[in-house]
Each structure stands twice: as structure tokens, then as C-alpha cells.
Amino acid sequence: MTDEAKRPGPCSGLKVLEITTMVAGPMAGQMLADLGAEVTKIEALGGDPMRHLRPRHKDMAAGFMAMNRHKRSIQLNLKDPAGQKIARDLALQADVLLENARPGVLDRLGLSYESLREDNPGLIYASVSGFGPDGPYADRPAFDQVIQAMSGAMYLQGGWVAPAPFRTMMVDKYSASAMASAIVAALLHRERSGGEGQRVTVSLLDGFSSFSLIDNLYNHMWLDGDDKIPAINTTLPIRTADGMIMGHIQTDEQFARICRLLGREELIDDPRFQGAWNRLSNIEAMWRELEKTTQTLPTAKIMEGVGREGVPIGPVNRIEDFLADPQVQHNQSIVEYRDDTYGRVLFANYPARFEKTPAHVAARSPTLGEHTDAVLAELGYSPDEIEAARTAGVAA
């Protein structure tokens, strides 16, 4: 073990009780676990639905493995009062309760914020939901693509002719990041206030709108102004001799550099491409002119010049190309974990680097109920009581 791996993460010592499924809630919990928090995940009998998806290796689904590393799993029947009591006992020992059930579900299970804060006033009660705890849509279910459709993201991707969602769980993943940062902020307030907990809510609707619309509100921002710009497609990859590249040219200097790089200096003084607005208004023509040269050159040759000239361009990669990229490997953006059961496992690394308290990606996700006995023993259950709970269908 390296010296860095021995150092505790910035959230070391914090106890998180997670009652979540699928993506947004589990990913938020995983981010806290990467930062050193002890995260105990309560799963219903049968487990998180993500466990049952493909691709799989042995008994583990890739989707579950990707969102639940470092956690402990306890399998409880929360419909049984005895299971509810176990969950409540765990919540009373926790710094954070993270849940993503529909509004009101945990209240009916005896795990409402109001009841828990009486006995655990420092608790951070963090709820992820589709639309928020109240309002006209509070009881509606929501998934990633539903919010992409509602927020205008699909329209922005393809217009009315071919509206298209992002082919990734953009809504869930950003909302998870927003929740993780909100929890850390609430913990900071608790420290500064002498121990005051609070409820924190993040909805997929609010999370994604704050992310997706931050720039797409430009035409709607000035309620008292009338300057509008037309919708312009800036996503224009161009061909090389053996692939494609994608770039973004913002300044006059950047445009001059790429023209010099490709031997197209005559374009520098072309009136269509002088100034940022002219280039944007003629962006397709600009890239098609440059493509006349790039399609005669190998991608690697162009990228050599890109590094030398400082032009913002990158290759259009497959995932395997990205994994082999030298900067990706240098940054350890993707890390390999070796597990006795599952062998070599690739994980996306935690995005921030801490000099003093590094985050760690050094543990697999738990098998279903892997830590049930250990967690119950920590609560004071004897071996006979644990076996009785299992026999009664309270735990598994």
C-alpha cells in the first residue's frame, strides 16, 4: 500500500446511511465513500434493481459495480417493523441519511426527518427525487430521459424534427454531484453551528436545469432586452485521413494558429472568418474549409501540431482509444482495481485531487447483503438474534 493510500480521505470518520437505488442516489453516496466516509447501503430484499442489469461478471452487474464501490450492503425488509427498527437504529448513529424514495415513503416507514432529528439533531437528511418534495409533480416518478425531454435538452440536441437525448445518464450523474456537494456544505454548516443538522433536497428537475440551461438561457435571460441570437450548431467534427477530430475556435489568435498549422494562411484574412461572431455565423463553412486539409492528414500528425501550436482540438475517440490516451493514463482518470473475486476492474476515478487528504478508489461494490451480519453485530445483535432475523425474513 502506498503512503498516499494510507492517508484518510477528507470525509473520513463520517457515517452515511444510504437508502437509494439506481443512479443519482447511489452515485452521490459513492462520491462520499471515495472521500473516506463509511457508507452503509440498505437494500430491500432482492436488492437494488441495478444489480439485475447487464453486462455482468459472475454475480455482479457492471452498473451496480460502477455506482456503489466502497460501501457496505445490508439487506432488510423495510415493510416489517423489525426491519424498520434496524434502519432507524442505523439512522440514529449516522451523520448523513441519503435517500431517493418518492416523497412520503420513508415517512411511512418510520424514518421521517422530523422523527429522526428529535433523537439525532445533527443528522443531515439528504433526499434526491424527481421533482422535489412538494409541488404539482411531487408524486410523479421521473427518470433521466424524462427530465431531458422536459428541460428542453432533447429539443436543443435535435430540434422538433429529431429530438435526441444525451446517450448517457447526464441528469442523474449531475444531480448526484450536486447532492454530494450539498451534503458536504451541510456538514460544514453543522461544524460551524455547533452541531445543527438540516434537511437537504435535490431534484433531478432542479439539478439538471441548473446544469443544462446555464448557457441555453441566454436568449431568455434579459427580460427587458430584445437581442437574440439564432440557434447555431457548433458541434461539427471534421474528417482526417483515418478518423475525425473536433475543435472549438473562440479567439482570432486560435483561428490564426489552426490556419498556420494546416497551411491555410489565406483563410486568416477571409472576411467570413474575421472576428468571433463572423466565424460563428459561418461556422460550418469554416470547418469545411479546414477539412479540405485535415482529411489528407493522419489524426496523429494533426495532434502533434495541435500540441505544438496550442490549438484546442482533440480526436474523436472510441472508449478504448480514450483509455489508451497518454494524458488519461498520466492523470489516472481511469484506474484499475484488482479484486480477489472479480479480477481486474476499471473504475472512473474521483475527479478532484487532494494534496493532504486524497480520495481513494480502492474497493469494489458489495455483494447483496454482504455485510448484514457485521452491521447487525455492531448494533448489538447476538449471533442467535441475527439468525432469528434471517429466519423471520427481516434481514438477509
CA distance 303 to 264: 17
| Nine-digit cell string for 43 | 437494500
Torsion angle, alpha carbons of 199, 37, 362, 173, to 10: 10
From the candidates 172, 206, 321, 325, give the one annotated as an active-site residue: 172
Instruction: Write phi, then psi, for 127 (nearest 5 degrees).
Output: -120, 125
Torsion angle, alpha carbons of 29, 31, 34, 37, to 10: -50
Q: Is 107 one of the catalytic residues? A: no
Where do the DSSP E strands lie in the chain? Answer: 15-19, 38-43, 56-57, 60-61, 72-75, 96-99, 124-129, 198-203, 238-239, 244-247, 313-315, 334-339, 343-348
3-state SS assignment for residue 384: helix
Q: Residue with C-alpha cell 472510441?
A: 318
CA distance 364 to 386: 25
3-state SS assignment for residue 139: coil
Catalytic residues: 172
